[in-house]
Amino acid sequence: MKWWRIVGWVCLLGCMISCQREPSARFKRIEAWKHADGQLKVLSTIGMIEDLVKQIGGEHVASLALIEGELDPHTYQLVKGDDALFCEADLIFYSGLGLEHGPSLHQYLQQSEKAFSVAEEIAQQNPEGIIWIHGQPDPHIWMDIELWASSIPFLTEKLCQKDPDHRQAFLVNARKLLHEMQGYHEEALLALQAIPSTERYLVTSHDAFHYFAKAYLANPEEQTSALWKHRATAPEGLAPESQLSSCDIRAVVDYLHAHKVSVVFPETNVNLDSLKKIMQVAKEEGLTVRLAEEPLYGDAMGEAGSSGDSYLKMMTHNVRTIQKELQIR
């Protein structure tokens, strides 16, 4: 064996050993959360909840998300170490409304006295705001910033009950966050309503954008009727886990024809297979349909340092990406 190959193998082996010894960023976050002294330990199933908890709790709360990165919250099953997180947590927040339907996780959340559903609280306070798809409640409420912000009083109340000594700090942070989110909601509405109505149609990988379409793409008169539903469609349902049928593909291709849609949007944690099949059929029928340059954040926020590593950054990315792509002809 040539000497440079030997050196190469030695370097590779050394790198592998080093990588194995270096704790992952996820491991470091978990360890820091476990050893947080004097802070309320809050575990949230998804980042969109965890980020709000972090903003409200500030320095008095250690906040951690159970499901990170591109993992699918719809099908997430408990893994080794999760039970320890549940035991350590003082409070657990989850979406509910069928989002976390992996059997092991769903069962734990239903049985735990420390676990509280954010989406189900919103549904109880504002039943008219909940969207139903084929007889199922749509859990993707965070896609409407204003509606998602309505969870802040509930989250704040639970934090205050668990840590009354810092009630005033929680209330101040909550008011600030409510104001900030209302501002982002109004900016999103202004930006997307500026696009001509004939171009405000959205095709994504799965049905995660109904709240978004109703809040930001529909005309005001459509929002008070069922007509807003025509503003968005997707080949896969509320959970991106089903096999596509020829009828599913046909329905989306017909939508592309009917509304002269020329762009489809991938999502960060959903594979491209369904959209590629649709684009192929559309091409065979003479339609020119392209894939958006950047994927949208649907069921998951982005990694640290990305354009979607906080809830409001995630939503800003989605608004700007959709605005940019829908204006390209």
- Residue-wise pLDDT tens digits, 236-293: 887 776 677 889 899 999 999 999 999 999 999 888 889 999 999 999 999 999 999 9
pLDDT given for residue 168 in this prediction: 98
The whole-number average pLDDT for the span 305-313 is: 94
Q: Is the CA virtual torsion 188, 326, 204, 216 positive or negative?
A: positive
Which residue would you say has higher pLDDT here, 7 or 100?
100
Contact (CB, 8 A) for 304 and 321:
no
What pLDDT score was predicted for residue 270?
A: 86
Contact, 276 vs 289, CB < 8 A? no
Q: Which DSSP symbol is given to 45? A: S
% of the chain beyond a pLDDT of 90: 77
Confidence bin at 26 (pLDDT 50/70/90): confident
The answer on pLDDT for 301 being more than 70 is yes
Return mean pLDDT, the chain.
Answer: 91
38 φ/ψ angles, rounded to the nearest 5 degrees: 75, 10
pLDDT in tens, 193-242: 999 999 999 999 999 999 999 999 999 999 988 899 999 999 988 777 66
Place of tokens 């599913």: 248
Q: Supply the DSSP symbol for 296.
A: B
